[in-house]
Structure 1
Amino acid sequence: MPDWLEIAIRTLVAVIALFIATKILGKRQVSQLSFFEYITGITIGNLIAYTSLELQTSWYLGIISLIVWVSIALGIEFLQLKSKTARTFIDGKTTVLIQQGKILEENLKKERLTTDELLEQLRKKNVFLVSDVEFALIEPSGDFNILLKKENQPLTPKHLGIEVGPTQDPQAVIMDGNILDEPLSHLGLNRHWLKTELEKLGVTLENVFLGQVDSYGQLYVDLYNDQIQVAQPQEKALLLATLKKCEADLEMYSLSTNNPNAKAMYATCSEQLQDVIREVKPLLNR
């Protein structure tokens, strides 16, 4: 067999073996690596390259070595799942670098980080003042996580006492001009509903690159032709405006009538509608 053909076959076998090994080891092997996973990745890469190009040795020996390494890596992962001590020994543990606005110099030296490197990591998190930080941690993966002091944290609806309606993942119901029936069924919708919504927006199915439905049943589309402007759904805004108009009308009727019973009835209805608006407003203000 010619050398070039043998190398091609070996490379093909090695790529398939590497793909299978990576699938077995899981997503952690291609995300943030621990020390052992980093070593495993380098070693497996070297084994695959050696198996592909070294013609003086039998190719199956490299595959056997690859299987052994994958087995060891799997054993280590299962051991980490079962033992906190093993996880700490292999991956290390989280180290606090800043506590209550104070840099912990000893921990900084332990992680062999300079002040410039620490400040760089803070800037990556949009933090420019150490005294603004409640806690700064370096994870075993090498990532920095920062918690600002409460007075420096951004405002959220919760801080303002505003209730926000729950949301779910939006579902893609149109992709590349084709309808996806499974996401539609997951939302309890059908093709007839989708085509009706497209007609409301004034677009054709063939011109839709991506169509998504949010958890409130509103359709948003992105078209192939970016020059066409598509109006955003207004159903929720119109519903909220209608409720407010009804409440204002009831209040006006209450003020304009001289009949005590009618005045009391309109006032009660107005208050009840105000309660309804207060409850549904978080769902409609999106």
Structure 2
Amino acid sequence: MLVAFFRALILYAVVVTGVRIMGKRQVGELQPFELMVTIMIAELASVPMQDTSIPLLNGIISILALLLAEAVISYITLKSERARTILCGSPSIVIQNGKIVQKELARLRYNVNDLLEQLREKNIVNVSDVEFAILETNGQLSVIPKPQKRPVTAEDLKLSTRYEGLPYTLIMDGHIQHKNLTKAGVDINWLLQQLEIRGLKPEDVFFAYLDSQRNLQIEEKEKRR
């Protein structure tokens, strides 16, 4: 029983490490060869996890071999456009100037219902409102509405805007995030001073962050009986 338990933990650690090495993509954003590697890694990990008669090293070596192959292919596709086209395919225009490109849908075996569903997910009701719709190599649909159907921006109204930076988390569940203090360009003395003005200590704070306008926002912990 303990052997199976520790084998499962070791394989879990190997698979998690492998997925981290592959990058920060979601399943829906993976290229075909990346999705295949992910499925195969899960399958290879489950076999020695269930069958303790199979040497654990065999499963680990197989997983590492797939990760190596994925890393090599990723590097090749990064450097070679031709290899990238062969392995990943190329984007396809399925709507152009408000008209569905029927030949392209037929070639991709992509039906109209799926197209309309993805348009609705992007708050597009009418096909005629679309300038271009492009089916990307990962299966996602990119939609470019016609100019008159796009949301109005500050640039359209000729309004000046001020710069907005990234928000930085400074305290999370009572713990000061020292790395973020440095990134935000403030020090711990400033933070403690701001907390003291509000009569708080770091352990009293559930969440505190410096917003995009450089204002400190603080949410106190709920008082528990």
User: Same fold by TM-score, threshold 0.5 exceeded?
Assistant: yes
Aligned counterparts of 1:112 and 1:185: Cα–Cα separation in 2: 52
Q: Percent identity?
A: 33
Shifted more, 115-124 versus 7-16: the winner is 7-16
Report whether the alignment pairs 1:118 with 2:115: yes
Report whether the alignment pairs 1:60 with 2:50: no
Of 141, 144, 148, 2:145 maps to 148
Aligned counterparts of 1:59 and 1:179: Cα–Cα separation in 2: 41
Offset from partner CA, 1:122-165 (integer Å, 9 cap, x none):
10000001111111111111111101111111111110001111
| Aligned partner letter, 1:81 | L
* Residue 29 of structure 1: how far off its partner (Å): 7.5
Structure 1 equivalent of residue 200 of structure 2: 204
RMSD: 2.3
TM-score w.r.t. length of structure 2: 0.87
Of 66, 85, 92, 1:88 maps to 85
Aligned counterparts of 1:88 and 1:131: Cα–Cα separation in 2: 30
Structure 2 equivalent of residue 135 of structure 1: 132
TM-score w.r.t. length of structure 1: 0.70
Shifted more, 217-226 versus 142-151: the winner is 217-226
* Residue 203 of structure 1: how far off its partner (Å): 5.3
Of 142, 159, 170, 1:173 maps to 170
Shifted more, 206-215 versus 21-30: the winner is 21-30
* Residue 92 of structure 1: how far off its partner (Å): 1.1
Structure 1 equivalent of residue 96 of structure 2: 99
Structure 2 equivalent of residue 40 of structure 1: 37
Structure 2 equivalent of residue 9 of structure 1: 6
| Aligned partner letter, 1:211 | A
Structure 2 equivalent of residue 281 of structure 1: none
Aligned counterparts of 1:29 and 1:74: Cα–Cα separation in 2: 17
Aligned counterparts of 2:155 and 2:79: Cα–Cα separation in 1: 38
User: Contact 1:51/1:63 (CA < 8 Å) preserved in 2?
Assistant: no
* Residue 15 of structure 1: how far off its partner (Å): 1.7
Report whether the alignment pairs 1:186 with 2:189: no
* Residue 68 of structure 1: how far off its partner (Å): 1.9
Structure 2 counterparts to residues 240-255 of structure 1, below 5 A: none
| Aligned partner letter, 1:8 | F
* Greater RCO, 1 or 2 (C-alpha within 8 Å, sep 6+): 2
Unaligned runs of 5+ in 1: 227-286
How many residue pairs match? The answer is 222
User: Contact 1:22/1:29 (CA < 8 Å) preserved in 2?
Assistant: no
Structure 2 equivalent of residue 19 of structure 1: 16
Q: 1:117 to 1:68 in 2, by over 3 A?
A: same
| Aligned partner letter, 1:204 | L
Which one has the bigger helix percentage?
1
